[in-house]
Amino acid sequence: MIIPKTIDAFYGRIVDSLNLLKFNIDQTLGNMTRPLNIDYVAARIKSKESIMAKIEKEGYENPVDEIEDLVACRLIIKSNSNINEILEKIEGVFNIEKRNIRNYRPNEFIYDDIQLILSFKDNPLISNKGILGKKFELQIRTGLQDALAEVIRSEIYKTDILTWQKERTASELKANLELVDVILSEFPTMSSIQEEKDYKPFQRRNEIIKLLKNVWSTEKLPNDLRRASIIIEDYLRLAGANIEDLSYWIKDKHTKIVDAVSITPCQIILIILFLEKEAFLDNVIKQKRCLLITDEMIDICPELNKIDSSCRVNID
């Protein structure tokens, strides 16, 4: 692409101020979104080629003031149910100069993100007042919207050939993903109105999770309680024991082991089942299972040395 000297010079005059604006945007939105677990995609400065094409297309009288996306960035949210919280934060720091929300005919599926034109509000923390009044674009998308937008951008907008079928397929995807996004936004409500089924594996695992929470503090428990419940459920199966047996052994019989600080609840339960049920080790051997036995576990329960190396995970 040939860039005329006029455009090159125009870009040279504005690029320093755009970089300053970008720096402040990245700092502000990065700090704002991090505690909210929202992904912030760093701002980008419009390229010379893109600026030239936009000027040619729109015929701006004063491009530096009229092009509102010379600097643009985006936020990726989990679902549209998160939108109000982030909009409230944004309104506290920025002026919303324009909100691009379009209305469509009911048979159209555009599946647009939210596009805001923003500028910084004046406050004592802004050291360089030169960024005040400078507009930039912020797009707020769900994860699905962002993935779709990136695919469409590379497959449709950045190709040399226009095809009806690709445009058609993109519209079909937008229609389906818009519906999925609505369902995800209302997932807690929609799932709660359905009748809960009596699914035995989930009932057993929920009982295990309840026991874990009753016995150990949050700091001691694993982050993934679902996975822990599956591991313990399998240990109980190998031992031929039930949750009532385990509850008694934990709360009344093996309190010293339960209080151990150097091993996890899953490791504690493995030790207890090994001590209480001979069937546990027998079934481990029969089923050619391997157990994770650590030095910390052996320090607490030396009897674990009886377990043959063929039944242990080799982590040396």
Q: What are phi and psi of 306, to 5 degrees?
A: -70, -20
Mean pLDDT rounded to a whole number for the chain:
84
| pLDDT at residue 2, as a whole number | 74
117 band by pLDDT with thresholds 50, 70 and 90: very high
Alpha helices by DSSP H, listed for 34-108, are 48-58, 63-66, 83-93
Helix, strand, coil percent content, the chain, rounded in steps of 5? 60, 10, 30
| Alpha carbons 280 and 2: distance in angstroms, whole number | 75
How large is the angle between the packed helices 164-185 and 143-152, nearest 10 degrees? Answer: 170
Residues 8-27: what's their mean pLDDT?
A: 94
DSSP three-state, residue 107: coil
Q: How many domains does the chain have?
A: 2
- Residues 222 and 247 placed together within one structural domain of the fold: yes
Report pLDDT digits (tens) over 69-110.
999 999 998 776 677 888 889 999 999 999 875 555 555 555
Residue 91 sits in the same domain as residue 179: yes
Domain assignment present for 316: no
Closest listed residue to residue 250, CA positions, set 225, 220, 270, 230: 270
CATH of the domain at 141: 3.30.460.10
In a domain, 294, yes or no: yes
**Does 142 share its domain with 252?**
no
Same domain, 245 and 208: yes
Average pLDDT of span 288-301: 87
């009044």: which residue's tokens? 133
Q: Do 169 and 207 belong to one domain?
A: no
- pLDDT higher than threshold 70 for residue 191: no
- Please indicate, yes or no, if residue 193 is contained in any of the structural domains: no
Strand order of the sheet with strand 39-45? Answer: 39-45, 71-77, 136-142, 114-120, 94-100
- pLDDT of 170 above 80: no
Q: What is the domain extent for residue 20?
A: 5-188
Q: Between residues 148 and 47, which one has the greater pLDDT? A: 47
